[in-house]
Amino acid sequence: MKKYLTAAAAVAATALVLTACSDPTAGGGSQPWDAESAAEWPQQTADLSGTTLTIWAAQNSTTVPEAVVGAFEEATGAQVDVVTIPDPYEQGVQTKVATGDKPDLAFWQPTASMLTALNAPANLQPLDDAPWLDAYSPDVRDITGILDGTRYAALITSPAVEGVYYNKEVFAEHGITETPTDWASFVELARTLESEGQTPFFEMAGDRWATQWWVQVQLADAAADGLWDRVNAGEERFTDPTILEAIKSYKALVDDGLFNEDIKTATFEDQADALLAGDAAMVVQVNSFFGQLQAKADTAELNEMIGFFPISPSGNVGTFIPDQSNALVAFKSGDESRERAARQLLSFWLGDGYADFVADRDTVSLQTEVPSPDTVPQALLDVHASLADSVGSMQALAVANPDLYIYLADMIQGTTTPEEVARQTQDHFAQLARAQGVEGF
């Protein structure tokens, strides 16, 4: 009897293994997308009573949709639940989607590498003929959100730019009237400040993620020259001179004592506090850093104290890096009516609801017809202005997004060398690229 049961259990287990050995997100439940339904964009305020939509948001984007969602609920009778997925957000979402758990809409980094990470062709609704596209200002319309010629993400706010945030008062104290015009003058300025007893730069290696901006802004010229295309094709590697030299020069600046003393343990919050207090003169960061500053000071104070300039080796070119709070993706949930309602919410958000949305969020408008509110701080307007001639970051242009920031943070902790950072990043990049089936890896 015992033997019989064991055999039966083994057979059952084997059968389960054989039948279930496929990706749960691989079609099946979701409907195949056809051109007919793709063309259908419901009226922005069509009645949606009884429909419930779910939006996934990260801890730092969960308040973004509040006002616009409220207006949408009022106009259509739909119910919209905003669910916060705990940090690390991208990991959490990818894991959930892998097990077949999908929302109707989610905040998502609209870069090709992150759209690939969600397996966009299988999981996301294409937004190619969305009604709001013509309303965008031409310079941001096609800047991101597109994978292999198909648009999957709707940009709602100005994409982040890597650049230098500086304390205007500290600059004034040291008699600096002009911001640096290229990398050499930027470093020279830092050395001058350091010799005058002022900490020039502040880095947050305790929280790690901002370390990569230093390397990426140094790659702006190379990126404009097709660096990431060559990396994607396997023709150039992180260990080759272009990227390795950028890592080395970052290390050299740290070794020269141009950064804060507590660089190893400092956090994102410390960084914002230090710049506001003038403990450090400059910080290389992205838009979310300014959000942190806004949490600590009001617009008038910020306009007076904080300035922004983009930096690149040969000039003032910014490196853009759209992040998760800048865009939304709509999932193929398998339920045609909810998929349509999700498209309707996006149409409303970037249509009738957009003016109220930018006013509520105090953010730069992406649409020519909708003016940015007067209360948007000057630094944010400068960031947005630098977008037009900016180049793509690693996240925006490389096929995969390796853990460069973790390896760089290790280097700052003193456990690895720049050469090891380059090798680890290349290995990780190759691993991710191969998992995606990119040729040459």
Interacting residue ranges for another protein, rule: CB under 8 A: 1, 5, 9, 12-13, 16-17, 20-23, 25-27, 88, 90-92, 94-95, 97-98, 116-119, 122, 206, 208, 262, 264-265, 403, 406, 409-410, 413-416, 427, 431-432, 435-437
Q: How far is the CB of 428 from another protein (least distance, A)?
A: 9
Q: Is 379 exposed, middle or buried (0-12, 13-18, 19+ CB in 10 A)?
A: buried
SS3 letters across the chain = CHHHHHHHHHHHHHHHHHHHCCCCCCCCCCCCCCHHHHCCCCCCCCCCCCCEEEEEECCCCCCCCHHHHHHHHHHHCCEEEEEECCCCHHHHHHHHHHCCCCCCEEECCCCHHHHHHCCHHHHECCCCCCCCHHHECHHHHCCCCEECCEECEEECCCCCEEEEEEEHHHHHHCCCCCCCCCHHHHHHHHHHHHHCCCEEECCCCCCCCCHHHHHHHHCHHHHHCCHHHHHHCCCCCCCCHHHHHHHHHHHHHHHCCCECCCCCCCCHHHHHHHHHHCCEEEEEECHHHHHHHHHHCCHHHHHHHEEEECCECCECCCEECCCHHHEEEEECCCCHHHHHHHHHHHHHHCCCCHHHHHHHHCCCCCECCCCCCCCCCHHHHHHHHHHCCCEECHHHHCCCCCCHHHHHHHHHHCCCCHHHHHHHHHHHHHHHHHHHCCCCC
Q: Which is closer to another protein, CB of 179 or CB of 212? A: 212
Q: Which is closer to another protein, CB of 86 or CB of 175? A: 86
> How many helical (H) and strand (E) elements, i.e. helices and strands, does the chain have?
22, 13
Q: How far is the CB of 30 from another protein (least distance, A)?
A: 11
Q: How far is the CB of 21 from another protein (least distance, A)?
A: 6
Q: How far is the CB of 240 from another protein (least distance, A)?
A: 19
Q: Which is closer to another protein, CB of 22 or CB of 177? A: 22
Q: How far is the CB of 415 from another protein (least distance, A)?
A: 4
Sort strands 327-330 and 105-107 into parallel, antiparallel or unpaired.
Answer: antiparallel
Q: Which is closer to another protein, CB of 332 or CB of 361? A: 332
**Integer Cα distance of 186 and 175 in angstroms:** 15
Q: Which is closer to another protein, CB of 204 or CB of 220? A: 204
Q: Which is closer to another protein, CB of 79 or CB of 119? A: 119
Q: Which is closer to another protein, CB of 96 or CB of 230? A: 96
Q: How far is the CB of 322 from another protein (least distance, A)?
A: 19
Beta bridge partners of 53: 80
Q: Which is closer to another protein, CB of 388 or CB of 435? A: 435
Q: How far is the CB of 271 from another protein (least distance, A)?
A: 15
Q: Which is closer to another protein, CB of 211 or CB of 367? A: 211
Q: How far is the CB of 348 from another protein (least distance, A)?
A: 30
Q: Which is closer to another protein, CB of 17 or CB of 39? A: 17
Q: How far is the CB of 325 from another protein (least distance, A)?
A: 19
Q: How far is the CB of 23 from another protein (least distance, A)?
A: 5
